[in-house]
Amino acid sequence: MISPARRVAYDVLRAVHGSDAYANLLLPSRIREAGLSPADAGFATELTYGALRMQGYDDRVISLAAGRPIARIDPEVLDALRLGVRQLLGMRVPAHAAVDQSVSLVAAARKRSAMGFANGVLRAISRHTPEQWRARVVDGLAGDGLLAADTAHPEWIVTALRDALSAEEVEAELPELLEADNRPPRVALVALPGLAEPADVGEPGSVSPIAVASPGGDPAALPLVAAGRARVQDEGSQLAALALSRARDIAPGERWLDLCAGPGGKAALLAAEARIGGAVLEANELIPARAGLVRHALEVVDPAPVVHEGDGVAFARAHAEEFDRILLDAPCTGLGALRRRPEARWRKQPADLAGLTALQAELLDAAVVALKPGGILAYVTCSPHLAETRDQVAAALTRHPGLRTVDTPAVLARVATRDLGLPDAPSAQLWPHRHGTDAMFIQLLTTVDA
């Protein structure tokens, strides 16, 4: 018999690797469908996310134990081995249970001919301590290659994070950042202003004035979350939206735009803020399914903001100088959310950067067109990669002589509940290891006569 928690973890891994599913979206629904107890739900979550985060490391262990490349192992068998390795090396699970249950998963996947192979590989792994396996995994490596193997990050991501930290002259923090990427984040909630009070939802968060630390369990079971007045949202995302809405006093009648609004978390927060100040928010989203998510997120605001569907560049260019405040939460590599989206580190490739940075530049140019003179534009990415952050802003300032940076750290100093310790720079880069948030980049911009 396979335990329900392990079955859920296996099914999610197969969906992630076989159908490009997102674990953070799929796992909660699978847990509910399986009717797991809180203890089993916790086990399934730790096992699933652990196996996805540490995939590169565990695959190296499997390859060493099997004496063959993982590319020569059937995907269904490999995912069962990944779950077994994670239990053996990273969880307090008896070796016999980790091995037997993983071999049973191989059988249940109709790979009975591979049961002996899986059993042999896992028993070989179980005969050595985690420390002994670490020594074998990093043997002969140095520099970023060693850090990459040891912390289960692709080497190109380690190098990109090193460069971003070096830009703030804190390169020595790299090991701490990589370690933070591998720690499960505590779920943060946001109490939408004017619709919920943080004290009515739970205990205060750590940096956002409207954040609430999740009490544990399924957040959807909380009454205010079920009503849409509070929602799951990282505190870094909250600060990104609040930097725009609270950069200056709101003049009644202002028009705001969330240019790339899906799935709607920041849009809901901006809509709540706009409603209090007498402004009006509009949202735009290219993908119809995501536009539907935005509409659902905005239903709680009365009247609900208009959600447009279509290309953001075309929309912004068609509305020249119409908006007082614009949020451009640009499509990016997502390297700032690796702790919450564990599979992302293995899906992204350096080649993805060229297309993303070109799109970011195009959207930024269009957003500048749509901004009223003297208005405020928030350029935001959930990535600290310099090509998507500082370099992107510097290039935009060159292309637009009338574009100016706004002292974003000063704005956040007024908004945040504690000193963020941001360096003296026009932009703000948040970090998991420093702030307990996703690594959000925030740059406020404004326009003047050229």
Residue 377 maps to a domain: yes
CATH code for the domain in which residue 43 is found? 1.10.940.10
Banded pLDDT at 414 (limits 50, 70, 90): very high
Banded pLDDT at 224 (limits 50, 70, 90): very high
Calpha distance 203→20 (Å, rounded): 35
pLDDT tens-digit series, residues 23-57: 998 999 999 999 999 999 999 999 999 999 999 99
Calpha distance 212→188 (Å, rounded): 6
Task: Report the number of distinct structural domains present in the chain.
Answer: 3
| Same domain, residue pair 108 and 154 | no
Question: Catalytic annotation on 382?
Answer: yes
Banded pLDDT at 1 (limits 50, 70, 90): confident
Residue 367 maps to a domain: yes
| Same domain, residue pair 44 and 122 | yes
Q: Is the pLDDT of residue 352 over 80?
A: yes
Q: Which residue do the tokens 């948030």 mark? A: 437
Residue 200 maps to a domain: no
Mean confidence (pLDDT) of the chain: 96
- Final residue before a domain boundary, out of 118, 135, 152: 135
Catalytic residue, candidates 250, 382, 387, 411: 382
- Final residue before a domain boundary, out of 78, 106, 135: 135
Calpha distance 295→289 (Å, rounded): 10
φ, ψ of residue 285 to 5 degrees: the values are -145, 135
Q: What is the CA radius of gyration of the chain?
A: 23
| Same domain, residue pair 38 and 95 | yes
| Same domain, residue pair 156 and 177 | yes
| Distances from the Cα of 304 to the Cα of 224, 270, 299, 307, angstroms | 18, 12, 6, 9
Beta-carbon contacts of residue 228 (< 8 Å; ≥ 6 apart): 297, 299, 300
- Which residues are registered as beta bridge partners of 306? 282
Banded pLDDT at 372 (limits 50, 70, 90): very high
| Distances from the Cα of 121 to the Cα of 3, 47, 53, angstroms | 21, 19, 21
| Distances from the Cα of 305 to the Cα of 106, 240, 290, angstroms | 50, 20, 15
Residue 214 maps to a domain: no
| Same domain, residue pair 18 and 32 | yes
| Same domain, residue pair 150 and 112 | no
Q: Is the pLDDT of residue 90 over 80?
A: yes
Calpha distance 287→295 (Å, rounded): 12
Candidates 277, 263, 260, 265; CA nearest to 230 is 265
Alpha-carbon dihedral angle through residues 319, 320, 321, 325, given to the nearest 10 degrees: 50
pTM of the full structure: 0.95
Q: Is the pLDDT of residue 216 over 90?
A: no
Residue 199 maps to a domain: no
| Same domain, residue pair 303 and 173 | no
Which own/partner pairs from 301-306 qualify as long-range (CB within 8 Å, at least 24 positions apart)? 301/195, 301/268, 301/271, 301/272, 301/275, 302/275, 304/271, 305/267, 305/271, 305/274, 305/280, 305/281, 306/282
- Final residue before a domain boundary, out of 72, 105, 135: 135
| Same domain, residue pair 91 and 52 | yes
> What does the pLDDT average to over 77-103?
97
| Same domain, residue pair 84 and 157 | no
Identify the pLDDT of residue 243: 98
Calpha distance 201→190 (Å, rounded): 9
| Same domain, residue pair 145 and 293 | no
The alpha carbon of residue 315 and the mean position of all alpha carbons in its chain are separated, in whole angstroms, by 26
CATH code for the domain in which residue 314 is found? 3.40.50.150
Q: Is the pLDDT of residue 450 over 70?
A: no
| Same domain, residue pair 298 and 437 | yes
Banded pLDDT at 217 (limits 50, 70, 90): confident
Beta-carbon contacts of residue 221 (< 8 Å; ≥ 6 apart): none
pLDDT tens-digit series, residues 124-176: 999 999 999 999 999 999 999 999 999 999 999 999 999 999 999 999 999 99
Domain extent, residue 172, equals 141-181
Calpha distance 401→445 (Å, rounded): 12
| Same domain, residue pair 41 and 127 | yes
**What is the percent of the chain with per-residue pLDDT over 90, rounded to a whole number?**
96
- Which residues are registered as beta bridge partners of 371? 323
Residue 397 maps to a domain: yes
Residue 227 maps to a domain: no
Residue 310 maps to a domain: yes
